[in-house]
Amino acid sequence: MSTESLNILLVDDDKSICYTLQRALTEKGHSVMFSLSGKEALNQLKQSKFDVMLLDLMMPDMGGTEILGVVKKNYPHTEVVIISGMGSMRTALSTLNMDAFDFLSKPIHLSSLFNVIERIQQKQHNISLEPTSISLLPSSSVPELIGKSQSSQKVIAIIEKISSSNSNVLIRGETGAGKEVVAHCIHNKSPRRNGPMIAINCSALPDTLLESELFGYEKGAFTDAANQKKGLLEMANGGTLFLDEIGEVPLALQAKLLRVVETKRFRRLGSTKEQIIDIRLLSATNRNLETAVKLKQFREDLFYRLSVISLQLPPLRERKEDIPVLVNHFLKTLAESGKPLKKILPKAMEKILSYAWPGNIRELQNIIEHAVVFSDNDTIHADDLPGHIQQRAVMDQESSFSTDAKGQSLENMEKNHIEKVIQDCGKNRSQAAKILGISERALYYKIRKYKIPT
């Protein structure tokens, strides 16, 4: 049986049920988010891919069956498990005809919940050759690129300039700096905008799966290849292929990729037939690829091919003028998704401005969401910010976390920061990952890499 962790969205207007289930499922290693209204849930679905939705039938703003209908139509890969009270058992039964995976009745027994989740894991394992880390975001759900600082304006101007060309672009920047947003902007402004935009995170798949995802395969090409399958190179034909975390592609695959970039030709695994494709390649990395080249971890020829145009996104701490506009933008979008509209007090903004934002815009976005949930009235006070932002703000002014922090390496700074956030969250990894703006899987990886005690 697969023990893959799942991305789960809980939808229930009862906060205490959400907290309890979130905790139980997080302890089993899953990534769990929750929404307290139907509208908020639909918004979350636009932003992230979920394997499972646990959905209460009785929501104040939208009926569970209505939400189920939308999910099955637009996000068919998301399995929906209905949660029903005793009074709504009949409706719950009828949702099975609407392709709900199963239903659980309240009060929910954790053993039944885990059983359903295990069955979903099993089902997903059986179709595990389906892409797992590919996003096919409809362009309407791509976030706007916000920023009024000089450096952001420069990035926006460069995007305008390069979008119409067909040149490969390497987008660089720290984690959470907006590389994926930029990639979508380039595609949406390019003459290929009506073609497909296919994104794949190269670090999220094991090597062999990454190759078969990209190249596709013929029936019988390897043991699990029961049917032929198109690869992403083919699927992106006429559009844009975005290779995220390109620095993580293994050397053997880099050689194959180089051939595709040079010749715009490829073969499915197990096929002798060569196909010609018309794609524009965008890639992104937060690694220093020049160093990787020197260390012989990344092919120099591929590096030059991919970075015909190189676009560097500055970290948020170097464009602080963007912070107030971003904060207001996030407050507005949270309000649009059903959360209360809140104002931020100058003292809180001061703390935010003096913090170093190692997780960049993603971290800022998560902190604002956290503050909106935790503030008691319609204003966000400095106290509503997580402890490490408040303390760090003071330490930052003493330059313990500035870019030139006493000659500390970036890795060291990252390690210290992760350690601090994990402690602030009482060692709750799921919450720490959220605050750091990375997936739990990425956090586990970093904990192992830096040998952080947990």
**Residues near ligand ATP, by CB under 6 A:** 143, 145-147, 173, 175-181, 286, 361-362, 365
CB of 6 to ligand ATP, least distance (A): 20
Single out the segment in contact with Mg ion by CB under 5 A; choices: 188-196, 238-246, 255-263, 285-293.
Answer: 238-246
**Which does residue 64 touch among Mg ion, ligand ATP, none (CB within 5 to 8 A, set by kind)?**
none
CB of 94 to ligand ATP, least distance (A): 36
State in Å, rounded, how far the first CA of the chain is from the last one: 27
Q: What angle do CA 79, 82, 84 make, to 5 degrees?
A: 175
Interface pattern 116-155 for Mg ion (x via CB under 5 A):
----------------------------------------
Q: Distance between CA 290 and CA 304 in Å, rounded?
A: 10
β-strand partners of 240 = 197, 280
**Which does residue 305 touch among ligand ATP, Mg ion, none (CB within 5 to 8 A, set by kind)?**
none
Q: Select 129 or 181, whichever has its Cβ closest to ligand ATP.
A: 181
Number of Cβ within a 10 Å radius of residue 10: 24
CB of 179 to Mg ion, least distance (A): 5
**Which does residue 176 touch among Mg ion, ligand ATP, none (CB within 5 to 8 A, set by kind)?**
ligand ATP
List the one residue out of 188, 143, 139 whose CA is nearest residue 361: 143
* Nearest residue to ligand ATP on Cβ basis: 178
Single out the segment in contact with Mg ion by CB under 5 A; choices: 43-51, 96-104, 215-223, 240-248.
Answer: 240-248
Three-class HEC string of 103-150: EEECCCCHHHHHHHHHHHHHHHHHCCCCCCCEECCCHHHCCCCCCCCH
Q: Which residues of 48-77 are buried (b: 16+ CB within 10 A; e: fewer)?
A: ebbbbbbbbbbbeeeebbebbeebbeebee
Q: What are phi and psi of 70, to 5 degrees?
A: -65, -45
**Which does residue 365 touch among ligand ATP, Mg ion, none (CB within 5 to 8 A, set by kind)?**
ligand ATP
CB of 143 to ligand ATP, least distance (A): 4
* Of positions 40, 180, 248, 414, contacts Mg ion by CB under 5 A: 180
Q: Select 100 or 210, whichever has its Cβ closest to Mg ion.
A: 210
Give the footprint of Mg ion on residues 241-300 (CB under 5 A).
244
**Token output for 83:** 């949660």
Q: Are 103 and 82 in contact (CB under 8 A)?
A: yes
CB of 156 to ligand ATP, least distance (A): 9
**Which does residue 175 touch among ligand ATP, Mg ion, none (CB within 5 to 8 A, set by kind)?**
ligand ATP
Q: Which helix (H) or strand (E) holds 162?
A: helix 150-163
Site residues for Mg ion per CB under 5 A = 179-180, 244
